[in-house]
Structure 1
Amino acid sequence: MEHQQRSQGRLSPSSDTEDIVALLAPRLVHFAGVARTEHVTRAAQELQVPQSTLSRSVVRLEQDLGVDLFARHGRTLSLTPAGRAFLVSVERALAEIGRAAEEVRADADPATGKVAFGFLHTMGAETVPGLLHAFRADHPRIRFSLVQNHGDAMLEGLRAGELDLCLTSPVPDAPDLVARRLDEQKLRLVVPADHRLAGRRRIRLAEAADETFVTLEPGYGLRRITDALCAEAGFRPRVAFEGEEAETLRGLVAAGLGVALLPPPAVPRPEVVELTVTSPRAAREIGVAWLAERPDTPPVTAFKKFLLSRRGRLLPD
């Protein structure tokens, strides 16, 4: 008879793991409490739940599993071998859930929480450190997880929940994102110091149509901007080298391997000359983006408000 009762509530082998977890999870705390005390009354007092509720929960758990977890001895209980084995995993799982809950609460704390912030490689040397220094003047204990990447990868990070905010260029236009323009950064044509154009201060981009270019790889925002500006100037750039960081490109230019359209460097390099492009207008917009309709924690709200307050003065002078 007892075996028949157990079988009625037993999960079938074909049940999905998600279904099993959803069914068992509410009863695991009750099981662990009874297992620790081996007494339903004492466990009910410790857990502050009615004794009848606790008894039913444990019985249903055994029915769901199709296994006797306890041997009954009047009002006391003792774990069966299956119950002891199950308790080890349950306590480990509950401890992990507790750690996870504490972590997410800590990350959302208004004073000490965490912001996952992405930004372009070209903003890592000077812009972002300056922003964080200014922000932490009023929020000294907020923590940051910093990710440097190209624009497309950061937008995927937003969608995957890996980032809260990102600074990127071009400013994205997608229905699942919110983006705000913050500033504009001029781009310069960088040439080797011994280049035929190195004596110039200004140049029309069309004058570089016959030059070999070094650029960022496809998928990078600056690469798309470079291709678009060259097309506007009437030519398609002849690309010899593709890289992942602007300073690497600047090094390739210094080595005489080509020219490049780049934002200003954090530290000037004497081996290259940076020319102002007069036509077409060579600049890139810098913006902040986040996922639409995702609730913000207080630290993210504070940092987002700070970034929006820096419109027009995001970049170093």
Structure 2
Amino acid sequence: MNYMKTAILLAAMTALFMGVGFLVGGQAGMLIALAVACAMNFWSYWGSDKAVLNMYGAEEVDQNSAPDLYQMTWDMAQRAGMPMPRLFIIHEDQPNAFATGRNPENAAVAVNTGLLNTLTREEVAGVVAHELAHIKNRDTLIMTITATLAGALSMLANFAAFSGGNNQNRNGFGVIGTIAMMILAPLAASIVQMAISRSREYEADKMGAEICGNPIWLASALAKIAGAHDRTVNNTAEHNPQTAHMFIINPLSGERMDNLFSTHPDTGNRIAALQQIAQAWGMAGQVGHGQSQPAPWGSNARRGGPWG
């Protein structure tokens, strides 16, 4: 199913590229856009994960530089029956995390230092389990490709707006078409992102709870991350909004301003769903209760590492 989604996504993005290319340069521009789209699709499959990690300045860690975090991730990867992903730390105060990679054999999990400084060990385990679920479900390929192509499509649409279309299209229809494409192309890409992200977050929450063994750990993590969201701004995410759907919670400061176009389901609904799972499993516990101290790597993370 996810392979089919990927194929549909690539086809839709390619069509949008060709449409904008036609507005910029007519039939020749459409053919050039097709060639660029094919090259972008190929690059997105093989290299977009590295591009996103580089964009956020992610630093790879291992069992020597982050033994506790690495061991926790390794244990849960074994529990999930999947390979150990590469593990990265992002020096960012906002508590958040994401996963990327084209398949479980070539995947990575990246967590912000703000997450390690704020959450308990159990809550961090819940977040990592959620990201492992995305990898196991092979959501990361389509999410990473979406982020790459959505950004490229927005830039191409802006170029079309500034160029005003080719001479053949400089009539009433051409001007209107250019303006419409400038607005609709990024909007269409955003709709694809929203549909993919919203539909997969609940499933990743459910599987993440199974991987870590306690739905309340993830529910409590989501509550803390959402609570800290308004107090910390992720500047890199603000400048690259096309990557917002990759995170466990929308990192953008304007999330509440536009719930209709949010890349993520309502956090309260996600927490409620996890609490229902906990009740079905016969587990007691309330979100926000339990351990109040951050995980052991918290003090080291504040100093810049290591997180062990």
TM interval, short-chain normalised: under 0.3
How does the TM-score come out when normalised to structure 1? Answer: 0.23
Give the strand-richer structure, 1 or 2. Answer: 1
How does the TM-score come out when normalised to structure 2? Answer: 0.23
| Structure of greater relative contact order (alpha carbons < 8 Å, 6+ residues apart) | 2
Give the helix-richer structure, 1 or 2. Answer: 2
Bigger Rg, structure 1 or 2: 1
